[in-house]
């Protein structure tokens, strides 16, 4: 393959236990193949990471993905928070709002395909060199026309999860909306960890009792916090906005988008 082509793509390789590069279990292999199949189903959208091709290398499955030069949204935000990046590219409030709207547009598309992401967070959104946000990491994504109930226990992104997901293992597009609200919180805190001052036990207790667990992030104004973030965190999933409505709300809050 030509060098300039190699430079424009990212190759993700799952290695076997016999490889000198590392080890992986059979469950890891199955999960990786499932993610490949999910990526094929997802298809193409400007705000969703694109799968270019699948192949194998020395017997291992490989996904050839669209390359995002800036890496994850979380890392992008944190490098500015810690003053490690070119300050000429420091994100403005408009840019942060635009990232949020781009993610919401990607989620509109996924919902139209009957998909529930289940792990929407800044760490699972990537940023291209021209500052386009794209939803990525479909390892937990499932087809669910109305809802998906998780049947197996495992590591879960607790502080991004809606109450019904934590308590009932129930995932819908509206639980993705809750997670999107947390992603907005990450955006306007420049990549801080949500509810970082709460232990897992404290977080679960507050969540189950209906106490607000997310304070207003330092860069968000009252309207953004009250008119969008808190709407995403309503306990009744039916009271949360749709992703289409979120796109419209962000257009109102950031008129220049």
Measured CA distances, 202 to 38, 118, 173, 209 (Å): 35, 22, 26, 11
* CA separation for the pair 207, 31 (Å, rounded): 30
Q: In the beta sheet, which residues pair with residue 51?
A: 65
Per annotation, catalytic residue among 2, 119, 130, 137:
119
Residue 150 has phi, psi (to 5 degrees) of: -75, 130
**Tally of CA atoms within 13 A in the half-sphere of 112 that contains its CB:** 12
Provide CB contacts within 8 A for 14, sequence distance 6+.
24, 28, 29, 32, 60, 61, 62
What's the token pair of residue 253?
A: 């809050």
Q: For residues 108, 11, 126 and 31, what is the CA-based torsion angle, rounded to 10 degrees?
A: 60
* Rg over CA atoms, the chain: 19
* CA separation for the pair 9, 6 (Å, rounded): 6
Q: Is 130 a catalytic residue?
A: no
Active site residue ranges: 119
């Amino acid at each position: 393959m030509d060098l300039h082509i190699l430079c424009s793509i990212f190759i993700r390789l799952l290695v076997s236990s016999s490889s000198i590069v590392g080890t992986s279990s059979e469950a890891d292999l199955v999960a990786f193949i499932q993610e490949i199949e999910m990526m094929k189903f997802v298809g193409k959208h400007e705000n969703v990471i694109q799968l270019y091709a699948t192949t194998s290398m020395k017997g291992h499955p490989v996904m050839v993905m669209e390359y995002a030069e800036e890496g994850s949204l979380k890392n992008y935000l944190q490098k500015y928070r810690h003053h490690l990046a070119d300050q000429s590219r420091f994100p403005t409030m408009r840019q942060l709002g635009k990232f949020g709207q781009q993610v919401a547009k990607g989620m509109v598309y996924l919902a139209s395909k009957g998909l529930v992401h289940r792990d929407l967070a800044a760490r699972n959104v990537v940023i291209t060199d021209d500052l386009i946000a794209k939803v990525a990491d479909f390892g937990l994504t499932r087809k669910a026309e109305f809802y998906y109930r998780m049947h197996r226990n495992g590591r879960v992104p607790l502080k991004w999860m809606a109450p019904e997901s934590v308590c009932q293992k129930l995932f819908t597009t509206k639980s993705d909306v809750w997670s999107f609200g947390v992603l907005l919180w990450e955006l306007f805190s420049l990549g801080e960890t949500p509810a970082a001052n709460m232990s897992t036990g404290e977080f679960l207790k507050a969540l189950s009792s209906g106490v607000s667990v997310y304070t207003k992030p330092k860069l968000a104004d009252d309207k953004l916090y009250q008119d969008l973030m808190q709407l995403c965190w309503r306990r009744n999933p039916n009271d949360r906005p749709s992703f289409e409505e979120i796109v419209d709300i962000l257009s109102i809050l950031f008129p220049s988008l």
